[in-house]
Amino acid sequence: MDVPVNQRARSGLEFLGALQGYTGGVLQQAAAARYAEVVTDPPLDLAARRASVRAALADHGPWLFDRLYTRYVAEEIYVRSIPAAEQARAAIEEWLDVPGDAPGSLTLDPEVATPDYFTAGFHLTTGGWDGHDLMGVVIHDLGYRYVLVPGGVGAARAGESLMDHRTQVAREAPRRDYRHVLELGCGNGRFATVLSTEFPGSHYTGVELSATQLKYARARAVHEGRDWTLVQAPAEATGLPAGSVDLVAVFTLFHETPPKATEAVLAEAFRVLEPGGDLVIGDIAPQERNAAFRAVVLDWETEHRGEPFMRSYLQLDLPALVKQAGFADVEAYGLGKGDYPWIVRGRKEA
Ligand SMILES: C[S@@+](CC[C@H](N)C(=O)[O-])C[C@H]1O[C@@H](n2cnc3c(N)ncnc32)[C@H](O)[C@@H]1O
């Protein structure tokens, strides 16, 4: 939604976007260049890469300020967006308050079995995904819009559109004629919009743990005229019947789940797919596909930017786990710069 923010709140957020863009685009580039100069034969192992960046850039001002500003912006997004959302509460609540009888559905489960890892506090979001009742708008319409899209986040660089990445991932699904698409970890429905657009003849179901994100997704669906089925459940146990969907799509979920949960989610994807159905995953490329400095920048998020499972994800053999879950014809490849988005896809044999 277009949140009516006053000039002070907007300029405060735009400042963060500009600072993030400057630090990622200027300071971090300077640090990358210095690292390349000093370390001509970088190691391959992630821990060794970390140690080599630490040693090479220990007193490099641009690197130290890049990390400081990145952390500051990540925290400050919520310090600034939550009051901005509060100021616009009436308009946001009106936008969220969609008719219960509109097409599609939202099924919330107050007793949902939330896995422990989910409460780890992602992205330094104050109080977690559900730490504020307007968190859907706080994240999407304030944080992303004013700070993270102009400034860049994680593997996405400044100015790159996360929507475009989602479209690229959807287009890596091998067929166009899916009847029932399931997204695991659907958040506030950004990939849902893309999937519904790319597969117009299909029915879309989104499964997600966060109630605030689901409420946003429901409002988005109604405002966009979509009949999505939205369900609050863990992606490990969706409650959907076996063999009931023909495409499972996953965008940027697995860098937020520990490896054992990733295995469980893949097993669930295999169970709910009908024979002949497809799985397509888009996320960050594993560390060995990234240059050493870049891998360390991503890995840094584990301790400093609320991505507790980034380190394990970067070292995970996701294609092997997809095969282990039973999928055939498993392929893995990168689409853009730095192999982002990274695609892993497979098929449940007919
Ligand atoms: C980075 S967001 C991506 C959201 C969405 N796929 C998109 O493209 O915008 C990851 C989402 O996965 C959700 N999530 C994390 N672990 C989950 C789990 N075990 N089951 C269901 N959802 C989960 C989070 O709440 C978050 O909304």
The pLDDT averaged over each successive group of 10 residues in the chain (350 residues) is: 94 96 95 98 97 98 97 95 96 96 97 89 77 90 91 70 84 97 97 97 97 96 98 98 98 97 98 98 96 97 93 98 98 92 97
Tell me the CA–centroid distance for residue 118 and ligand 1, in Å. 10
Tell me the CA–centroid distance for residue 73 and ligand 1, in Å. 22
DSSP string, 251-317: ES-GGGS-HHHHHHHHHHHHHHEEEEEEEEEEEPPPGGGS-HHHHHHHHHHHHHSS-TTHHHHHT--
Indicate if ligand 1 lies below 6 Å from the C-beta of 252: yes
Residue 188 pLDDT: 94
User: Do 39 and 52 contact (CB within 8 A), yes or no?
Assistant: yes
Pairing of strands 245-251, 180-184: parallel
Cis peptide before 341 (omega within 30 of 0): yes
Indicate if ligand 1 lies below 6 Å from the C-beta of 290: no
Using CA atoms, how far apart are residues 8 and 219, in angstroms rounded to an integer?
A: 27
Residue 310 pLDDT: 97
Indicate if ligand 1 lies below 6 Å from the C-beta of 187: yes
Residue 149 pLDDT: 87
Residue 161 pLDDT: 60
Residue 49 pLDDT: 98
Tell me the CA–centroid distance for residue 70 and ligand 1, in Å. 22
Residue 120 pLDDT: 67
Using CA atoms, how far apart are residues 233 and 228, in angstroms rounded to an integer?
A: 15
Which domains occur in the chain, in start order? 7-347 (3.40.50.150)
Using CA atoms, how far apart are residues 246 and 265, in angstroms rounded to an integer?
A: 16
Indicate if ligand 1 lies below 6 Å from the C-beta of 155: no
User: Do 313 and 260 contact (CB within 8 A), yes or no?
Assistant: no
Q: Which 3 state secondary structure label does DSSP give 135?
A: helix
Indicate if ligand 1 lies below 6 Å from the C-beta of 238: no
Which atom of ligand 1 sits closest to the CA of residue 118? 16
CB burial readout 122-142, b (16+ within 10 A) else e: bbbbbebbbebbbbbbbbbbb
Q: Which 3 state secondary structure label does DSSP give 242?
A: coil
Tokens 């109080």 sit on residue: 127
Indicate if ligand 1 lies below 6 Å from the C-beta of 196: no
Q: Which 3 state secondary structure label does DSSP give 205?
A: strand
CA distances from 215 to 35, 86, 95, 133, 282 (A): 45, 17, 11, 10, 24
Tell me the CA–centroid distance for residue 166 and ligand 1, in Å. 14
Tell me the CA–centroid distance for residue 87 and ligand 1, in Å. 27
| Distance from the first to the final alpha carbon of the chain | 42
Mutate to test the pocket of ligand 1, among 122, 130, 167, 208 (most ligand atoms within 8 A of CB): 208
Indicate if ligand 1 lies below 6 Å from the C-beta of 309: no
Residue 338 pLDDT: 83
Which atom of ligand 1 sits closest to the CA of residue 250? 6
Residue 38 pLDDT: 97
Tell me the CA–centroid distance for residue 26 and ligand 1, in Å. 31
Q: Which 3 state secondary structure label does DSSP give 44?
A: coil
* In the chain, alpha helices (H): 7-22, 28-38, 46-57, 61-87, 89-96, 135-137, 149-151, 162-170, 190-198, 211-224, 259-272, 292-304, 310-314, 318-324
Indicate if ligand 1 lies below 6 Å from the C-beta of 253: yes
Indicate if ligand 1 lies below 6 Å from the C-beta of 123: no
User: What phi and psi, each to the nearest 5 degrees, are found at residue 31?
Assistant: -65, -40
Residue 11 pLDDT: 97
